[in-house]
Amino acid sequence: MSLTPDAAGPIDAVIPWVDGRDPQHAARLAGYLAGIGGARPATAHPTRFDDAGEIDWCVTSILRYAPWMRTIHIVTDRQTPALVARLRGTPFAERVRVVDHREIFDGYEDCLPTFNSRSISSLFWRIPGIADRHVYFNDDFMLLRPVRPDDFFRDGRLIVHGRWEMQAHANWVKRLARRLGSKRHAGDEPTENRAQDLSARLAGFERQCFRLEHCPYPMRAATLADYFAAHPDMLRETIAHRLRHPAQLRPESLAVHLELARDAAVADTHLRLVQLKPSEQWFPRLRAKLARADRDPRVAFACVQSLDLAPPRARRHLVDWLNRRVGALEQSRCDQAALA
């Protein structure tokens, strides 16, 4: 199978990854937290950095279900996931590249070390050799079935998953709830909706926001490169935050809104997401969600949040399901050989 899926050129995958249990990484984080003082903020909760092996399923799913993706760039801070060693000597070895933070923060070394995924993803466009068209995977995203290039890019447009909503400042129900004190967040926390609302406004959408689902995000490197070239102060303000900050934009949301503003993105609901929170969801509900995902051929994406915090029974059940739906690298190798 050709790794150049169409005349528009190659498509890459990008995955930010961290192993928070690595002693050196833990020491860098502890040093930063000691420097700012005070109680450990929620944005530095260990679950944000703990690795429960999700990246293995993430990478395996790309190799198995999207073999047309050219290169998988794993963006890390002086770390290398164990799967890279397991890939040595296989047909996949040259298709997975580890990118250090220092490569993309070249010229901005004063912003390192960083523990902020928003700061990191703001610089994906600076990955050496990155394809203009690429798909951003969190390490807890997985593909569950074969996908095609036109599931992400079609007729020169990005295919995005989400829905339009009113921004919080334009939604009187949310404003009233906040005034009455019934909102859990009073506007001083770096919530997802706050970051997406800001990103929408930066792209010219004053009242509406396209809320992204937690599934792979197609992006064009040129979009953020051009935006930040025109707004260099915004780039520095964004990447200067070592932890998530209430005033920080969400880069993938900004990119999508910039594309929507020029009619270069279109919402598509054909493929669906199953969002799994095994540490929060009642076990029968988790099991039912997995069964529904098995029955519905349109469910192509899974997001597994905080697997490290899941109770043992839920974790075992989910791991068995992922092994069945995604498989292991050895199975992907067999699939690749069959496609060659």
Indicate the pLDDT class of residue 333, thresholds 50, 70 and 90: very low
Percent of the chain at pLDDT exceeding 90: 81
Q: In the structure, what pLDDT confidence band is assigned to residue 175 with cuts at 50, 70 and 90?
A: low
pLDDT interval class at 165 (50, 70, 90): very high
Reported as a single tens digit per residue, the pLDDT across 144-155 is: 999 999 999 999
Instruction: Classify residue 287 as exposed, middle or buried by CB count within 10 Å of its CB (0-12, 13-18, 19+).
Output: middle
The stretch 58-75 carries a mean pLDDT of: 97
Q: Which two tokens stand for residue 239?
A: 């990447």
- Of 148, 91, 147, 94, which is closest to residue 337 (Cα–Cα)? 91
Indicate the average pLDDT of the chain.
91
Chain Cα centroid distance, residue 74 = 12
pLDDT at 335 over 60: no
15: pLDDT confidence band, cut at 50, 70 and 90? very high
pLDDT of residue 188: 65
pLDDT at position 338: 36
**How far is the C-alpha of 256 from the C-alpha of 206, rounded, in Å?**
15
Over residues 82-130, the pLDDT tens digits come to 999 999 999 899 999 999 999 999 999 999 999 999 999 999 999 999 9
